[in-house]
Structure 1
């Protein structure tokens, strides 16, 4: 069981999985949080799997998909349950938004569960119908990036 601690921004790194062990951690975090089977993911230049590391240990996973209209979708945002409630999700979201800006996107969109909508709202996201075909029970949210 990891030791929970606050390390400040310097201990974090958001990066693409670099090998088998990183990919295993990426899928493990997603399975723990979303109870999803390990997907067979096709390589796509428009999809970016990212891991949040804290002092070298993977503690979070996120998928960023580039959309054609200068927006990016943040998907399956997950912090390992052993690390939840310590502010790591906010750090991962901020780092993902910076990654998106560097890709030339000026807006992020998410499908949020009703329970997670408050988290996104405090991070500057607003409820918005941006997708005519959406997943029932989910809250569509977006944030314009500066």
Structure 2
């Protein structure tokens, strides 16, 4: 089994990226018709959208938003439902952490959904209030966390 963390640039990778996020983070939670596959943050200069592939098959997504002060936020992490609880999230987290370090990041931040807090704690994250203004919309009930690299 070979994993790759792909920087999303190719149209087919963008299609997989948006499909996984729309289905797993929005539709699976009853939020139909609200996902914006043209959201400007996905292509902003600070954004690094990634697709996790295993043997060429798209399994997961995230976006790394680099703030430029040694900090970055991991956004909209998703693994396809059929592949959850098989260790792919740990692989994605480790690969994105390595990519963040390569980009000069020393502190990763996340707005973790309640059901994901345990996962993040097991992979070295701690609860840390980093920007309460972020906790709006779909992130309103999230727990803010940090991981020092």
User: Scaled by the length of structure 1, what TM-score is found?
Assistant: 0.88
Q: How does 1:99-110 map to 2 (within 5 A)?
A: 99-110=99-110
Shift of 1:17: 2.1
Give distance in 1, aligned partners of 2:57 and 2:24: 17
Gaps of 5+ in 2: 27-33
In the alignment, what sits opposite 2:147? Answer: 143
In the alignment, what sits opposite 2:88? Answer: 88
Partner residue of 1:41 out of 17, 39, 42: 39
Shift of 1:88: 0.2
In the alignment, what sits opposite 1:112? Answer: 112
Gaps of 5+ in 1: 1-6
Partner residue of 2:12 out of 9, 12, 21: 21
Shift of 1:15: 1.1
The count of residues paired between Structure 1 and Structure 2 equals: 136
Give distance in 2, aligned partners of 1:56 and 1:132: 38
Segments of 4+ moved more than 3 angstroms: none
Shift of 1:55: 0.4
Give distance in 2, aligned partners of 1:18 and 1:46: 15
